[in-house]
Amino acid sequence: MESPFTYILITLFFSSILLSIIFLMTWQTMGKQKYALMFSLSFLASSVLWANSLFKSLFLSHNLYWMIGCSVSMLSVLLGTWGHCLRTNTKINPATLLSLGVFGMALTYYFTYISPHLGLRMSLYLYIDVVLLMITSVVIIQHRIKSRPAEIGASALHFIFAVCLFIAASIALAQGKDMDVELIKWYAIVNFTALPAAYVGMSVFVIYMLASDLAEEMKLLAMTDLLTNCLNRRGFYIQAKQTMLELQKQQQHVCLIYWDIDKFKAINDQFGHAGGDQVLISITQLIKLHIKKDDLIGRMGGEEFVILVGRSHYQDAINVAERLRAIINHTPIPFGEQKINVTASFGVVELNDQNIPIEQAIDLADTALYQAKSSGRNKVVFSEPQSF
């Protein structure tokens, strides 16, 4: 009768193959992101690890079996860590991770062939895995200020998996140079009970995390203007409401700058819609270069845009609008071999009431913009601070 451990290994083998295929398909369908490919290769390495254990009896040399198992184990964890670093844009040199793996392999080889020591041979590669898993756990949880539930779960499961490996490694190390039958039993219990559960749980949360990434990308796509890559009207309304509250809590002066490109229809008539589109793209890129990263910019439709800014004083917002107007006025837009001269009009309103709806705030700024248009264009008009 087969040992229960054999059935566990078979389950882990087929689970790893399935997960490798899932992440390979994810790589192919999600823009061939490198991190998805790393995850696929990581689970493929894991399947080799479980197959190595299943066919242990076929090896003529136990030491060869052990070295292959240790190598593939570290390779699997290393590829997973590298994948998470790629996903989070963490600046960890892959050579550093590879060096850590090579160091672990060299020590394992030394205590397997040169100076045999059972405890060190069985534990050192696991300690390397623990370090890599801990790095992964930290990388995931520190990726953003407010982690998503999937990221919290994935980070926690990587940590739990690392703890399980640490316990297994410590039990193995406690044997010393020679085998301790009682400790080997405990080592097997940890290896074939807690570890498989943590491994499967970690894998599921990684899938959940990538699904969460995809959902967030779809949500962002639904709120983005495809031509200018600004927020669209819906996206601006959603994000501006939260941003206004946060800025007002910080005692910032919140201002709306509503602006549009002067005589845009004439630009379309003279240069065609391709020329008009180029103006919209170039002007929004120019604007983004001259506002803060945290300022919100949205396209309300056509040639009309809105910017939400938070500044320490109302005068700062006035300066932003005037500076943007001057930059646009003095920056011709290249279009083929031609240059398109563009001006824009701006309406600015300060929002000092936390209860004002964003729609009403835009109406006020739009009124100021209308005044700028009526008085000759290429101007900035400031609405007086309002109380509601």
Residues acting as catalytic residues: 303
Q: CA angle at residue 168 from 114 to 109, to 5 degrees?
A: 15
Instruction: State how far the alpha carbon of 249 is from the alpha carbons of 112, 195, 282, 347, in Å.
Output: 62, 46, 34, 24
Query: Residue 334: what are its φ and ψ, rounded to 5°?
Result: -65, 135
Burial of 224-245, coded b for 16+ CB within 10 Å and e otherwise, reads: bbeebebbbbebbbbbbeebbe
Instruction: State how far the alpha carbon of 80 is from the alpha carbons of 84, 86, 202, in Å.
Output: 6, 10, 11
Query: Residue 380: what are its φ and ψ, rounded to 5°?
Result: -120, 125
Burial of 31-58, coded b for 16+ CB within 10 Å and e otherwise, reads: eebebbbbbbbbbbbbbbbbbbbeeeee
Rounded Cα–Cα distance for residues 355 and 242 (Å): 12
Rounded Cα–Cα distance for residues 219 and 210 (Å): 14
3-state SS of 46-99 is HHHHHHHHHCHHHCCCHHHHHHHHHHHHHHHHHHHHHHHHHHHCCCCCHHHHHH
Instruction: Confirm if 253 and 314 have CB atoms less than 8 A apart.
Output: yes
For 327, counting Cβ atoms within 10 Å of its Cβ (0-12 exposed, 13-18 middle, 19+ buried), the class is middle
Instruction: Confirm if 131 and 149 have CB atoms less than 8 A apart.
Output: no
Rounded Cα–Cα distance for residues 237 and 298 (Å): 9
Query: Residue 42: what are its φ and ψ, rounded to 5°?
Result: -60, -45
H or E element: which one contains 7? Answer: helix 4-29
Q: In the numeric block, which tokens belong to residue 282? A: 């170039």
Instruction: Confirm if 196 and 168 have CB atoms less than 8 A apart.
Output: no
Of 344, 308, 305, nearest in space to 328 by CA: 344
